Structure 1
Amino acid sequence: MMRMNPLFFFLVLVPLFWACSDSIEKLSQPNIPNVPDDYEFAETDTLHVGMIKVLSTGRSVYLGTNDSLATSRERPRMKVEFTYDYSIDAHEVTHQEFAELMGGAADEINRFLPIRNMTYYDAVLTANAKSKRDGFDTVYTYSRRNNNNTGNCINLEDLVFHPEVAGYRLPTEAEWVYAASLDFVPEKSWHGGNSDYDLHNYCTKGARSSGLCDMEGNVKEWVNDWLGFFRDTTVVNYVGAPDGGSLGERILKGGSYRDDIVSINMYSRGDIYTVTSSTLAPYVGFRFAFGPIPDPVWLSENGVATTSRVVPVATAMNVRTKTGTFHSKLVFRNENSGNIAFIDYMNGSLSVLEIADTIDSYHPDVSPDGSKVAFCTKAEGVPGVSALYVRDLKAVDSKVVKLDVESAAVPRWGVTSAGDTVIVYVTDCATNDDEPSWKAQSTWQVKFSNGKFGKPEKLFDGTYNGGVSDDRKLAVSGARLLRARMSDKDSLWYGGKQACNASLAKDGSKRTVFLDFGEKSGDNFVGEKYRAHEYILVADSTGKLIQSVKAPDGYTFDHVEWASKTNLVVGTLVSVSGNHSAISLTDLRDSSTLVLAESEELWHPCLWVNPDLSANGTGNVNIDSAGMYYSDRLPYYSVELRVKMENFWTRMDSVTAVAMGSSRMLFGLYEQRITNENMLNMAYSSGDLYGAQYLLKNYIFNHVPHLKYLVLEISPDMFWRTADESWNPVLENAAGYAYDANHEFWKDSIPQGFMEAVKDAPKPISVLMHPYDFENFLLPATSWYTPDVNVDTTSMEMDDAIVGVNMKLFKSIVDMCKKHKVTVVALVIPRHAGYKNTGSYGMYGPSRSVTQVLFDSLKTYDIVWMDENKWGNHDYQDESMAYNMDHLSYIGADRLTERVNAKLKGL
């Protein structure tokens, strides 16, 4: 995610662009080109003013490319076919149109400029507003919105896209590319070569025979899809990935006024930073599409095409509030595919992953350590031979092993008093109402370790598929009747009335949850007549009813199961039409029910909660705030910082040297290879002097008692930064920093449970874009590429007020270090040597002459100057040393780290 203009976002800086001229042309409304009468693929939409009707039925387009130099998110080329037509705006939404829809007034100067600095959420809210204004249903639904301090929407909770609705929406990537392909001419666009790095009125740079304007330039455009992998295949009515993966990544299409014309194409899907729904940038806008999408197809992360989605509804924080930890996983059967799917709540942005293969999977149960899932091939109540499997709980390369017995069903993990991990299972899934047939089957357990089954051991006759207590003194069965085995004696609970879905608690309380069919015993207990499965019933260890919880209005329960060692019950919600359309989490402490996920048919949920990390009811910290250094409202660079904060709290007592800076320092200094000192690299993408000063003052100097050295990155463009560009969004949206501040950063003592909360906090890992991991933060060797300059360096002067602010921050850092007897090493990191021929110090300026003045000023402070860039005359010029024009590869990082190590040793 990104706020406006964060520096060094992802791997390179995202610039703040100023116009090179202050002149303003006299405004006149641009002309929208007309579609020729004989044009074959598009026509003017007479029902929706300003839109072009795209005649795509029976046609196709290619997304992506097979170019080996393209990123992994753009390869391979994939064919998309259409069975429908749609409409799309002739031009990007303007200031005037936005003001008319969302309120306010567009000033005369900006009225014909594309609206920009809009998040994805802003765009869909505007689309909904237009649908309401024109009398259509809204395409997007949500439960609550959250705005930042500039009024932009940075989160829509429970956001769901409804492709079947006829309303205004963002175009899908396939729709955008097909429309653009009708007449895509980058030379006739506002790009970096002709725009003076400034925005222009719409439709003022050449006409298109399709009737569309500015697809190639002016501003990049949001499309509707989540970012997902392509496959070398054909997909009909493709609408993207079913969710945003672990980072919630979105897609931008087209070029902008700041892009080099050679980089403008139809297959690019993003920018130089990670694009999420909360991204803000001055060169990103949007246009609308209109029309329902019949039989939409989503393509999952592991290449599975599906016509239905599982939509996570509850946020990771919602689940953490209930379970006490982010270390929880929801596993269930997707009835439409027959596969196991799961959600890992450790990810800040939730993704539903599905394990796709040919094994029909029922009754999944997660191993005690959360790494594996056991399942069978028959559902409760269905007689016959069933196979039992255990597999790795991951979507890719999920290794699977089978239990070699004649039949095994309804597996349940457990740990014996001797510490052995076992699986308890039954030999048949049939109902238990015929006692002789039921007792002819049996209940077994088998050890499982090192990926292998042990020798099965029979426990007793009868299929107690509802669970067996750890001491083996209570077992329950529920499929037609509620049977129990108590101290080696079989008994019939609930008066012999019909019951099902029995599940024995896993916390040692020996409670049982079950469902019934509106029996009189249940009516008397809850105090009203009710429908079958309308209440969850809870019995104690003797079968006596002790609690009941009613289903939400309009639903009944099914497939209820205890969630690990908690007071929580997971289940499915069944609509009046009989669809298992949601997974619910019922809290027996307050009888509340939280919806976790929605789809067409979801069965057999299991919620695993890590008992070792759950802070629910323990410790002296607020689990909704402690350690929360990342949230889904934050830019991606805060994930890196969240990792660094955990490293800080874990290693603070032994650290002797700290590095601060941006992505240049993050990727350029490999802390593990500093041998003379215990180095903690606290740099992160978009890091600046504001963040460095805050972290040093409040964390480092309060908790690192043996600190001797600060290695501080000196990048001149950092001195033209404002706090709102990257650091303030972190403080505003990460509860962990505010929580620490409210407790004076724990100067006196760190409370019980705090360290566990820090480790437990979400840390999403991208599987799509990033060529580095959170252990090493090193980049592959690619090339220095070309020394691009993306700002007007003439506008960057030393007397700018913002430079004065940053100089005061720099002085404050040096003064703090001097007070604590810490030596400051000011490190200038290498960048492309070719910048010495451009007049700019680097990609984001300033000019070399202004940089000289800045450097001379900095050298007057009590610091150790270490210039590894040497104004471009460095010895890192081999292509293998670089990842791009602004960042070192792991090879370059080796050299830089070796020299920093030697410098510290010499000091």
Structure 2
Amino acid sequence: MMRIFRQFFFVTFVSLYWACTDSTEKLSQPNIPNVPEDYDYTENDLQHLGMVKVHAAGHSVLLGTNDSLSTSREHPQMKVEFSYDYSISAHEVTHAEYAEVMGGAADEINRFLPIRNVTYYDAILMANRKSIKDGFDTVYTYSKKNHNAIGNCINMADLVFHPEVEGYRLPTEAEWVYAASLDFVPENSWNGGNSGYDLHDYCSKGVRSSGLCDMEGNVKEWVNDWLGFFRDTTVENYVGAPDGGSLGERVLKGGSYRDDIANINLYSRGDIYTVTSSTLAPYVGFRLAFGPIPDPVWLSENGIATSSRVFPSATSMNVRTKTGTFHSKLAFRNETSGNISFIDYMNGTLSVLEIPDTIDSYHPDISPDGSKVAFCTKAEGIPGNSALYVRDLKAVDSKVVRLDVESAAIPRWNVTAAGDTVIVYVTDGGTNDDMSVWKSQSTWLVKFAGGKFGKPEKLFDGTYNGGVSDDRKLAVSGARLLRAWMTDKDSLWFGGKQACNASLSKDGSKRTAFLDFGEKTDDNFVGETYRAHERLLIVDSTGQLIQSVKAPEGYTFDHVEWVSKTNLVVGTLVTPSGNHSKISLTDLNDSSTIILAEGDELWHPCLWVNPDLSVNGNSSVNIDSAGMYYSDRLPYYSVELRVKMENFWTRMDSVTAVAMGSSRTLFGLYEKQFKSVNMLNMAYSSGDLYGAEYLLKNYMFNHLPRFKYLVLEISPDMFWRSADESWNPILEHAVGYAYDANHNFWMDSIPDGFMEAVKDAPKPISVLMHPYDFENFLLPSTSWYTPDVVADTMAMKLDDEIVGVNMKVFASIVDMCKKHGVTVVALVIPRHAGYKDTGAFGMYGPSRSVTQDLFDSLQKYDVVWMDENKWGKHDYQDESMGYNMDHLSYIGAYKLSERVDAKLKKL
């Protein structure tokens, strides 16, 4: 007989809700081919109480959908095969279970409710804690974590998922869907139609024949995967994307107590809002899985399936602190695939992208403008013909062109005094210890412009693969020996001892970085014995040793290269077994080394820095704070506001009107459509009155000399929101606002370098989630869909304390505007006309009667009232006007913008 047990002390609670299934009762069979009729898909996991053993080995499941109306993150449909079995919790983790593992006491009222308002980080911390408690290794590792004021984990540094480890973890999306598909019945779930918009005790809707419950409702569930693209292909043991893309997005599965039953399905992967690891929501919880995943496969953004990953170790801020700019890119050879991979540090949350190709790629070097990468087909020290290519530095549609010569190796970009972009290369990348052989090869220069090579020009006899100075008076070579060409004279540096990986600096100092083989250095310069490549050595323009830096403990250096126009050297770190497992960045100012990336075999790194955007030398601006209006600890809406803050600073002298509000205003008012005013739309998703008051008081009134009109969104649900929901987290984690406050919001003067820092700060965008761009903030024309209500409108009363707080903030905004001679236009934005038949004003309520009382109260203030919604009787009802039930499409935005513009013109 199959029995399902509650984790820990809940066995006695089982009979209150559901009975055991008989062993003769077969599970409802999902759409899985070639399965015997009597196959048992699941069984009780007696080793891990409260879990169901899922027999997935040899079977498959379909992820996503081919429905043309689905989002880009949900299609095309992809087949996933399993070579293993796994266990999964019979139900969502409850308050009592969470408290039992994490410490603390679950109150008696909530003990049987699913835990909610937990981040992805909270969920994996519990998984780790439970693994330790039950005597297993932890599946997740990290170096440090951060918590918010109420105890949620909101950030983890160096987080790595180890699928090969046997322990507790979150289920993968494929595991979750396979288990759910065994018996998925949305009609028998706690959903928006029967839940009263609140949680219910676990399994109180019964248990499926699979032994699982609440897969369809109660709370949405975290799964383990980063959100990534699907492909029309078959993948075995799929574990998601290798990273979270530019926004660090995660996957949510299942329905919740607030979802319309029509929207509960197996293929949905998220929420109405962007989901990141730090997302908190009252309708999101999780269940656990157990068991190692053999031979896991990640699917990258460009569709490459890989069984190994490269992890970015340093954050964009770490790199900015060293280089002075976020405008940095790291390119390197992935030795496992033979392809070039790269990281763009302009993205706040980093993604490692790989350029797929059949060309074996060595020694990548990024062009001076950061848009292209040159590479060759043979490594340093390997003689023979090599081909030289230049390609676009992007993962998709990377166009490539080859230099038409017999052999070219180890390319290095440069810009001549005349402004020409050129590549210096050698005809052979072999060793230089045999003088006659080495001299028979040569060093060349070729211009590159307009995507084409020019005519090659010979520079020297001998292959100076370590670089040539701008004035061509110094060239270095370092494969076996450290050779130099110094103003028409050949020199042998470093006492003729063995050396390699020579790299000439690019800052005009003519220093050379190189590695040796642990021999006694000239005049005992280092002062201690060391292993081969354990020291990074630096010589001056004459070959005299001036500095050495020891590799981090347990590693040696390899593949060292100077970072353009800096005092930094990038390289790889090698384990005692010879694995190039890390890419390092060494700061010669203090001899410190940080780790940029980790993986299996990472070769030939090149770190490009845009020197024109570096603010490292400006002592009046703290580059770790200035312009930092976004943080990867925040939800996606802070990215939108970060873009708006840059617009504010760059346009402040010309702005005459400002719009503020939530995503309805963000997408509903198009700045370029305004003719009578110079409109600055400062609205952002989840925007509220608190943020509007703060921005007006500290930025708009201080720096907009021509400010005349404020268009303020009036959405009734905003009056039931607390500052802790969106605005306070922004102030807490986006340090740019605190930096401005500490400098009196720059009322006296804006320092040199500040505007550059603002423009330089990261502003990642998700191609998976966002159907708009940061230039226009316009949504596509889809339809108004159906008027969904996700709030308990009857619980929203006008005399609620939070409404009184927001009324005071509204009054403060109106009062400030009056004192500064700014006219307030209170704008009610159109939403689905069908809400007039629901009893609710909109998606988030409140009731229409309460809304009327609220509007009556607001119109008593000194504002110009502009109601474009008209209680649903508006003229925006054409389907082309809507993006969804709550937002206008670009067509609707054009219309609304023209009307607001006409209103302002009359004023």
TM-score (norm 1): 0.96
Counterpart CA distance in 2 for 1:860 and 1:194 is 39
Counterpart CA distance in 2 for 1:442 and 1:118 is 62
CA distance 1:824–1:317, change in 2 (3 Å): same
For 1:186, the aligned partner's letter is P
CA distance 1:817–1:85, change in 2 (3 Å): same
Q: Residue 641 of structure 1: SS of its match in structure 2?
A: helix
1:801 corresponds to: 801
Counterpart CA distance in 2 for 1:603 and 1:523 is 32
1:304 corresponds to: 304
1:254 corresponds to: 254
Counterpart contact for 1:32–1:213, Cα < 8 Å: no
For 1:561, the aligned partner's letter is E
2:471 corresponds to: 471
Bigger shift: residues 795-804 or 120-129: 795-804
Counterpart contact for 1:534–1:551, Cα < 8 Å: yes
Cα shift at 1:834: 0.9
Counterpart CA distance in 1 for 2:636 and 2:551 is 38
Runs of 5+ unmatched residues, structure 2: 1-11, 27-39
For 1:37, the aligned partner's letter is S
2:131 corresponds to: 131
Cα shift at 1:31: 5.2
Q: How many residues align?
A: 882
1:11 corresponds to: none
Cα shift at 1:261: 1.1
CA distance 1:525–1:33, change in 2 (3 Å): farther
CA distance 1:659–1:84, change in 2 (3 Å): same
The yes-or-no answer on 1:611 pairing with 2:611 is yes
CA distance 1:438–1:878, change in 2 (3 Å): same
Counterpart contact for 2:427–2:442, Cα < 8 Å: yes
The yes-or-no answer on 1:834 pairing with 2:834 is yes
Counterpart CA distance in 1 for 2:882 and 2:213 is 38
Counterpart CA distance in 2 for 1:661 and 1:339 is 46
The yes-or-no answer on 1:181 pairing with 2:181 is yes
Q: Residue 895 of structure 2: SS of its match in structure 1?
A: helix
Superposed counterparts of 1:485-634, under 5 Å: 485-521=485-521, 524-634=524-634
For 1:890, the aligned partner's letter is Y
Q: Deviation string for 1:443-485 (max 9, x for gaps)?
A: 0111111111111111111000000000101110011111100
Superposed counterparts of 1:201-220, under 5 Å: 201-220=201-220
Q: Residue 295 of structure 1: SS of its match in structure 2?
A: coil
Q: Deviation string for 1:93-146 (max 9, x for gaps)?
A: 111111111110011111111111000000011100001101111000000000
Superposed counterparts of 1:715-730, under 5 Å: 715-730=715-730
Q: Residue 849 of structure 2: SS of its match in structure 1?
A: helix
2:160 corresponds to: 160
Counterpart contact for 1:235–1:297, Cα < 8 Å: yes
1:408 corresponds to: 408
Counterpart CA distance in 2 for 1:629 and 1:685 is 15
For 1:219, the aligned partner's letter is V
For 1:113, the aligned partner's letter is L
Q: Residue 106 of structure 2: SS of its match in structure 1?
A: coil
Counterpart CA distance in 2 for 1:419 and 1:368 is 11
For 2:309, the aligned partner's letter is R
Superposed counterparts of 1:160-559, under 5 Å: 160-521=160-521, 524-559=524-559
For 2:464, the aligned partner's letter is Y
Counterpart contact for 2:478–2:502, Cα < 8 Å: yes
The yes-or-no answer on 1:37 pairing with 2:36 is no
Superposed counterparts of 1:7-46, under 5 Å: 34=20, 36-37=22-23, 40-46=40-46
Q: Deviation string for 1:20-56 (max 9, x for gaps)?
A: xxxxxx9987557646535511111111111111111
Cα shift at 1:630: 0.1
Q: Residue 853 of structure 2: SS of its match in structure 1?
A: helix
Counterpart CA distance in 2 for 1:818 and 1:709 is 11
Q: Deviation string for 1:64-121 (max 9, x for gaps)?
A: 1111111111101111111111111111111111111111001111111111100000
Cα shift at 1:637: 0.4
The yes-or-no answer on 1:878 pairing with 2:864 is no
For 1:508, the aligned partner's letter is G
Counterpart CA distance in 2 for 1:414 and 1:35 is 73
For 1:529, the aligned partner's letter is T
Superposed counterparts of 1:60-209, under 5 Å: 60-209=60-209
Counterpart CA distance in 1 for 2:876 and 2:269 is 31
Counterpart CA distance in 2 for 1:618 and 1:725 is 36
Identity %: 82
2:660 corresponds to: 660
The yes-or-no answer on 1:638 pairing with 2:624 is no
The yes-or-no answer on 1:784 pairing with 2:784 is yes
1:709 corresponds to: 709
Cα shift at 1:304: 0.2
Counterpart contact for 2:43–2:53, Cα < 8 Å: yes
Counterpart CA distance in 2 for 1:846 and 1:110 is 26
Counterpart CA distance in 2 for 1:234 and 1:788 is 36
Counterpart CA distance in 2 for 1:83 and 1:792 is 45
Counterpart CA distance in 1 for 2:330 and 2:230 is 26
Runs of 4+ that moved beyond 2 A:
26-39
For 1:191, the aligned partner's letter is N
Counterpart contact for 2:629–2:641, Cα < 8 Å: yes
Counterpart CA distance in 1 for 2:15 and 2:166 is 30
Counterpart contact for 1:33–1:211, Cα < 8 Å: no
Bigger shift: residues 192-201 or 692-701: 192-201
Counterpart CA distance in 2 for 1:492 and 1:394 is 40
Q: Deviation string for 1:734-776 (max 9, x for gaps)?
A: 0000100111101110111111110110100112121100000
Cα shift at 1:524: 2.0
Counterpart contact for 1:30–1:201, Cα < 8 Å: no
For 1:797, the aligned partner's letter is K
Counterpart CA distance in 2 for 1:607 and 1:782 is 42
Cα shift at 1:876: 0.6
Q: Residue 645 of structure 2: SS of its match in structure 1?
A: helix
For 2:605, the aligned partner's letter is P
For 2:23, the aligned partner's letter is D
Q: Residue 786 of structure 2: SS of its match in structure 1?
A: coil
Report the RMSD for the aligned CA atoms in angstroms: 1.2
CA distance 1:622–1:100, change in 2 (3 Å): same
Q: Residue 718 of structure 1: SS of its match in structure 2?
A: helix
Counterpart contact for 2:18–2:206, Cα < 8 Å: no
For 1:700, the aligned partner's letter is M
CA distance 1:526–1:190, change in 2 (3 Å): same
For 1:173, the aligned partner's letter is E
Q: Residue 414 of structure 1: SS of its match in structure 2?
A: strand
Q: Deviation string for 1:381-431 (max 9, x for gaps)?
A: 111111111111111111111111111111101011111111101111111
Specify which structure has the bigger relative contact order, considering alpha-carbon pairs within 8 angstroms and separated by 6 or more residues.
Answer: 1
Bigger shift: residues 729-738 or 188-197: 188-197
For 1:613, the aligned partner's letter is L
Counterpart contact for 1:511–1:540, Cα < 8 Å: yes
TM-score (norm 2): 0.96
Counterpart CA distance in 2 for 1:154 and 1:583 is 27
Counterpart contact for 1:317–1:326, Cα < 8 Å: yes
CA distance 1:837–1:523, change in 2 (3 Å): farther
Cα shift at 1:675: 1.0
Counterpart CA distance in 1 for 2:198 and 2:828 is 31
1:685 corresponds to: 685
2:850 corresponds to: 850
Q: Deviation string for 1:283-316 (max 9, x for gaps)?
A: 1111111111111000000000000000111111
Cα shift at 1:617: 2.4
For 2:821, the aligned partner's letter is K
Counterpart CA distance in 2 for 1:853 and 1:184 is 44
